[in-house]
Structure formats: C-alpha cells, structure tokens
Amino acid sequence: MFIVQGKTLNNFSEFALLVMKHSLTSNQVCAETFPDGALIRCRYIRVQQALDSYPLKRAKLYEKLSSGEIKSFCLKERGALKGVRLIDRDSYDDYLQRAAETALAADSQTKLTAQAEEFGNGCPR
C-alpha cells in the first residue's frame, strides 16, 4: 500500500501511473512514507526547492555552494552536458545552525560589552 499526497493506492500499477502523471508536470513526488502516513523527508533537494524552503536567495546560495559551506553535487548521465544540481539538505541545515550560533554568540558578546561599559562608566576609580 502506498500513500501519496493523501491518496491511498492499493497496488504498484496505481502508484506507477501517478508517478508518470506527475513526472510529466515536473513536480517531485515523495512516495515513501512511514506506516502512519507521514512523508519521509528527502535528503537531497533541487536548487528551486531550496530557494522555496530556505531563507537564502539564489546568488547567496550559489556562493555558499561554491565555497563548500553547503554541500551539493551535479547528477548527470555519462557524457551529458547538463545535469541537475542536488543540495544536501543536512548540510544546509548544519550551515544554518552554525550561522545561528555565530549570530547568537556575537549578539551576547555585544550585550556583555555594552553592560561592561555601562557599569564601568558608573563606578568611581
């Protein structure tokens, strides 16, 4: 039994027809589910999916991809000129976590410095 986009499919042929229908419209079908029907999160996402789901804009995303801060690879057939760029979602999440921790640390350091200056100005020496 397959559960895709809220529809219960009883056999593989129904599933295959649905996948063929959706592959022609270029929408990605995430067909794997947990027993309770919750979708399994795909590890690799396309650039457009990353742009739709995450805060970085295209130029900044490609900057982070080229620097290696976010991992990705190009999936293509042997001898093909073009392929599809796939981004490692875990790597993207790790990058955002590191950025958040750095921002929080810098913010708390700024607050401590401001408090120390305020305290130092009010005390006689």
- pLDDT tens for the chain, residues 1 to 125: 555 555 665 665 665 555 555 544 444 545 566 677 777 788 999 999 999 999 999 999 999 999 999 999 999 999 999 999 999 999 999 999 999 999 998 888 887 787 777 776 555 55
Q: Are 102 and 93 in contact (CB under 8 A)?
A: no
Whether pTM > 0.85 for this model: the answer is no
pLDDT at 23: 44
Residue position matching structure tokens 């789901």: 53
Using CA atoms, how far apart are residues 4 and 16, in angstroms rounded to an integer? 11
Q: Are 85 and 46 in contact (CB under 8 A)?
A: yes
Helix residue spans in the chain (DSSP H): 12-24, 47-53, 58-67, 89-122
pLDDT at 13: 60
